[in-house]
Amino acid sequence: MRVVVDFDLCESNAICMQIAPDIFEVRDDDFLYVLEETPSEDRRSSLEESVQRCPKQAISIEE
């Protein structure tokens, strides 16, 4: 699986970072960074929660 972020939609509110800090990081410049574009399968549940809880629906998973 691959993490996809629509950076035009992303508000960098860091909800995803709270759920999966090993995958997402909002830095001091207030931009979201994807730390692990292709996380292992054991991270799927956290990633799916990040997708669901993103208020702008900016995160998706590509298989």
DSSP 42: G
Residue with tokens 């991270």, as numbered in its chain: 43
pLDDT for residue 13: 96
pLDDT for residue 17: 98
CATH level 3 topology of 2-62 = Alpha-Beta Plaits (3.30.70)
pLDDT for residue 20: 98
Task: Give the C-alpha separation, 51 to 36, whole Å.
Answer: 15
Task: Give the C-alpha separation, 55 to 53, whole Å.
Answer: 6
pLDDT for residue 39: 97
**Consecutive sets of 10 residues in the chain, 63 residues long: mean pLDDT of each?**
98 98 97 98 97 98 97
Q: pTM to 2 decimals?
A: 0.94
